Structure 1
């Protein structure tokens, strides 16, 4: 698949890049996408939920009633969960929600997500650019020039650029990532991907193994 390269003014440079079909043109695997997104969201969970259990309650251990003749089952002590103020039975404890996913499945999921973006025409390739200083106004101007201001935007760079990152940080609908760090959730969550020309090669080098 060939994609035209634009400049940050939204103009066609006359150049084209050929997207590797092994990365941007595979048969998408929806189940791999599901597993990778599930793992990503699970890893974001703090897992700090905690409630007191019966053994952690402070209270008297005296016997509340006689052994027999009470007309029902006897309660053990005042800390019983069936009483008001008692602890919770099998309540949540701090835990890690993350789980292991094979590297090949994760790579397949990312290739599938990129393929969907290419098929939907939601992949914009721009020539490499830099910003002299962090300017949100300039970043917004670039997005407007590319006519994608109404969508969630994921800008993918070949390497970290502090000025570009800081320029997009205050925008709710914009994210900046480097080619080696893109993930399935980030790709699918974006309405459109803006990828620099040099980042295309790095994405293909990472995923075409």
Structure 2
């Protein structure tokens, strides 16, 4: 049974909550996680490398000298790839490196990523983080109470004070539950879930 403690911002246990076994406690397969993380990183590649081909180079199309009778090799216009300043023959063009994996694989990988945090005891559930104002020190104090320096914090929706207070803290990221993904879960050592976000996560992955 996947049961975890629910803490307040002072790292005091206030209750317990039962997590769904089919989401937070399934066998983890590295090959599935690797395939989805590789896909995510491929989609992030810019793919903007570009060179000018023969038709893209600015210049005259006049033949430099006659075809025969000079004793030299045949030569076309000044945009030839063989000449300095000419076009590139097989240079790169802008492209997308992105590709897709099946939806079922992506959902399974997300469950495995969450399960890996639960099984490694690096999953923490907090009832809520209500900060008095936008202040980095307030957020730092919350993390110090849990002795955590590297964490992904998942909220249900927009949490302006929380997001602004944490943006200057290294190795800490605030993510809304709708954007939860495998790469970010595995990138950070700890996963902190705000309790209101749990039903949304379970509803998304339990279908």
- The normalised TM-score by structure 2 is 0.89
Partner of 1:173: 171
Partner of 2:8: 7
Distance 1:37 1:75 in 2: 50
Q: Are the counterparts in 1 of residues 129 and 162 from structure 2 also a CA contact under 8 Å?
A: no
Instruction: Tell me whether 39-48 or 71-80 shows the greater mean CA deviation.
Output: 71-80
Partner of 1:140: 140
Let me know the Cα RMSD of the aligned residues: 2.0
After TM superposition, list the pairs within 5 Å mapping 1:42-57 onto structure 2.
Answer: 42-57=42-57
Instruction: Return the offset for 1:133.
Output: 2.0
Q: SS of the counterpart of 2:175? A: strand
Alpha-carbon distance change, 70 to 142 in structure 1, aligned in 2, over 3 angstroms: farther
After TM superposition, list the pairs within 5 Å mapping 1:168-207 onto structure 2.
Answer: 168-207=166-205
Partner of 1:41: 41
* Residue 26 of structure 1 pairs with residue 16 of structure 2: no
Distance 2:70 2:111 in 1: 68
Q: Are the counterparts in 2 of residues 29 and 108 from structure 1 also a CA contact under 8 Å?
A: no
Instruction: Return the offset for 1:48.
Output: 2.4
Flag structure 2 segments of 5+ consecutive residues without an equivalent: none
Q: Are the counterparts in 2 of residues 169 and 175 from structure 1 also a CA contact under 8 Å?
A: yes
* Residue 79 of structure 1 pairs with residue 79 of structure 2: yes
Distance 2:41 2:72 in 1: 47
Alpha-carbon distance change, 79 to 158 in structure 1, aligned in 2, over 3 angstroms: same
Count residues in correspondence: 206
Distance 2:119 2:69 in 1: 76
Distance 2:130 2:103 in 1: 32
Instruction: Tell me whether 29-38 or 111-120 shows the greater mean CA deviation.
Output: 29-38
Partner of 1:124: 124
Cα displacement string for residues 84-139 of structure 1 (whole angstroms, at most 9, x for unaligned residues): 22221122222233223332111111011111111111111112232232111100
Distance 1:70 1:120 in 2: 78
Instruction: Return the offset for 1:174.
Output: 0.8
Q: Are the counterparts in 1 of residues 29 and 112 from structure 2 also a CA contact under 8 Å?
A: yes
